[in-house]
Amino acid sequence: MTPAIMPATGEVHVHRFSLDREETEQARLQNFLSPDELVRAERLRSQLIRNRFIAGRGRLRETLAGYLGLEPSALCLTVGDHGKPHVSAAQGENRLCFNLSHAGDLALLAVSSHCELGIDLEQRQDNLLFQGMARQFFSICEQAELFSLPTELQLTAFYRCWTRKEAYLKGCGSGFSQPANQCDISLLPGHPPALLENRFNPDESVRWQLMDITVPDGFYAALAVRGI
């Protein structure tokens, strides 16, 4: 496997790949997984979900190993207090940061050097009961902006806010263990992606950059990067 070029300072590589693989390719990717990952896969009852998990972890390992000049099966992954995975500090001089998200048959992997980041991918569900989710997870400001929009624009605005918010919270390493309604994320049409305020840590709004990621129709995605 040809080694990949490490992202330059302030640069993020976003890899997009399908999780539905041919049988021979699926078997190749499965060989990269650790014993713990194989156990996790076996616990998944659905064959489709199991195969997609294996494909996602296999491609994750293959991609990261390419940056570090390692065999995919030799890559050592650890997790933080809230489950965010990291490459072991013992592997390579460069600190490789990454985040993976998947929805349906699609996955996005963001990779940077020394920049914490988070990425989120969601598949649109037209029957989603998003109003209740917004009232539970969105701030008062976000709710007011969302419900001020014409009804036909609200679902798209919801997904834009949700993916941006989840990408940011994943980048922080906390996920939704941090109260999601304590930060304000832009969502109005025509307004650029931005972390407007974090009431727990006001300095966060100048430390993080948010951006939407171009994905196929029916999907929404966002990236959050700290320190660019």
Which pairing describes strands 117-123 and 219-226: parallel, antiparallel, or unpaired?
antiparallel
Rounded Cα–Cα distance for residues 1 and 65 (Å): 9
CATH architecture of the domain 12-115 equals Alpha-Beta Complex (3.90)
What tens-digit pLDDT sequence spans the chain (228 residues)?
557 888 888 899 999 999 999 999 999 999 999 999 999 999 999 999 999 999 999 999 999 999 999 999 999 998 877 778 888 877 655 688 999 999 999 999 999 988 999 999 999 999 999 999 999 999 999 999 999 999 999 999 999 999 999 999 999 887 666 788 999 999 999 999 999 999 888 888 889 999 999 999 999 999 999 975
With 0-12 / 13-18 / 19 or more C-beta atoms within 10 angstroms meaning exposed / middle / buried, residue 59 is buried
pLDDT of residue 205: 85
pLDDT confidence of residue 63: 96
Q: Specify whether domain 120-226 bears CATH 3.30.460.10.
A: no
Name, in order, each residue with C-beta under 8 angstroms of 96's C-beta and a sequence gap of 6 or more.
6, 64, 67, 68, 87, 111, 112, 113
Q: Do domains 12-115 and 120-226 have the same CATH topology?
A: yes
Distance CA 26, CA 173 (A): 30
For residue 95, what are its two tokens? 């600190």
> What percent of the chain is helix, strand and coil (3-state, nearest 5)?
40, 25, 35
Rounded Cα gap, residues 180 and 203, in angstroms: 17
Domain boundaries, the chain: 12-115, 120-226
Q: Please, where are the H alpha helices in 2-82?
A: 23-30, 35-42, 47-68
